[in-house]
């Protein structure tokens, strides 16, 4: 049975107020998106929950998983589909205890095989590698090669996510290397989000 095609994983821009809900609906309407991650910084949980509510409804209507970045407590409060943890954002086991067996828990592993294996052993549902390219969204000193995705997908069944500066023009090596998901932000929200989603789908099919 062939492996499923690489899928899109959208990450929010820093500002999700003032009409962003309409942009998200347009993006999700342009083609299948597996997950949407809410990544907003510097606001309290009450405000974050208020901003999240309409976005969570849009994702539910589109059959797109709604993932919260960093905060296990916000994910619990919202009843989100899951949480994405950086290396300093809490433990997988804690997230599992608080969010339940069905929650999708992802872990940032940068360019580290060791961190990825540790996350898998702790019960993560996916691991994320990157940044593969320079990113205007989140600068990173880590710069793995696509071969890391090939190594991971050959040895482990746990899905892997490629992140960092990914565009329709540069994503082909990551798809070919075995990325299960492409996590993208700036390439979608910096322009016409619907056109960008369509361009990613075309690039994935052609890779």
Please name each of the domains of the chain with its CATH number: 7-206 (3.20.20.70)
Mean pLDDT, rounded, for 153-181: 97
Mean pLDDT on 138-166? 92
pLDDT in the model for residue 29: 98
How does 74-83 read in b/e, with b if 16+ C-beta sit within 10 Å? bbbebebbbb
Give yes or no for residue 194 having a pLDDT over 70.
yes
CA nearest 86: which of 151, 153, 36, 37?
Answer: 37
pTM (2 decimals)? 0.96
- Residue 160 binned pLDDT confidence (cut-offs 50, 70, 90): very high
Give the percent of the chain with pLDDT over 70. 96
Instruction: Report pLDDT for 1.
Output: 38
Contact 86, 70 (CB under 8 A): yes
pLDDT for 107: 98
The predicted structure's pLDDT at residue 141: 79
- State the average pLDDT over residues 78-101: 96
Please state, rounded to an integer, the average pLDDT across all residues of the chain.
95
Q: Mean pLDDT throughout 14-22?
A: 95
Report d(CA 143, CA 80) in Å as an integer.
Answer: 30
On whether the CB atoms of residues 151 and 120 are closer than 8 A, the answer is no
Tokens 């690489």 -> residue? 6
**Cα–Cα dist 147/179, whole Å:** 10
* pLDDT at 186 > cutoff 70: yes
Q: Over 90: is that where the pLDDT of 135 sits?
A: no
pLDDT of 178 > 70? The answer is yes
* Burial class of 102 by CB neighbour count within 10 A (0 to 12, 13 to 18, 19+): exposed
CA distances for 124 relative to 37, 61, 168, 178, angstroms: 16, 26, 28, 18
């Amino acid at each position: 049975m062939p492996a499923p095609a690489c899928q899109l994983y959208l990450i929010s821009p820093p500002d999700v107020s003032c009409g962003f809900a309409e942009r998200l609906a347009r993006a999700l309407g342009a083609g299948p998106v597996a997950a949407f991650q809410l990544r907003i910084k510097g606001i309290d949980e009450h405000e974050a929950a208020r901003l999240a509510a309409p976005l969570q409804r849009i994702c539910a209507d589109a059959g797109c998983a709604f993932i919260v970045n960093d905060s296990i407590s916000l994910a619990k409060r919202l009843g989100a589909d899951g949480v994405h943890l950086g290396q300093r954002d809490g433990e997988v086991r804690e997230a599992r205890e608080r969010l339940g067996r069905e929650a999708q828990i992802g872990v940032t592993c940068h360019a580290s095989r060791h961190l990825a294996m540790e996350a898998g052993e702790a019960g993560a549902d996916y691991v994320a590698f990157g940044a593969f390219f320079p990113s205007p969204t989140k600068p990173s000193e880590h710069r793995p090669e696509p071969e890391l995705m090939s190594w991971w997908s050959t040895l482990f069944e746990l899905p892997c996510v490629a992140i960092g500066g990914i565009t329709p023009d540069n994503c082909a090596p990551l798809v070919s290397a075995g990325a299960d998901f492409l996590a993208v932000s700036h390439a979608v929200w910096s322009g016409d989000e619907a056109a960008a989603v369509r361009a990613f789908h075309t690039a994935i099919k052609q890779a």
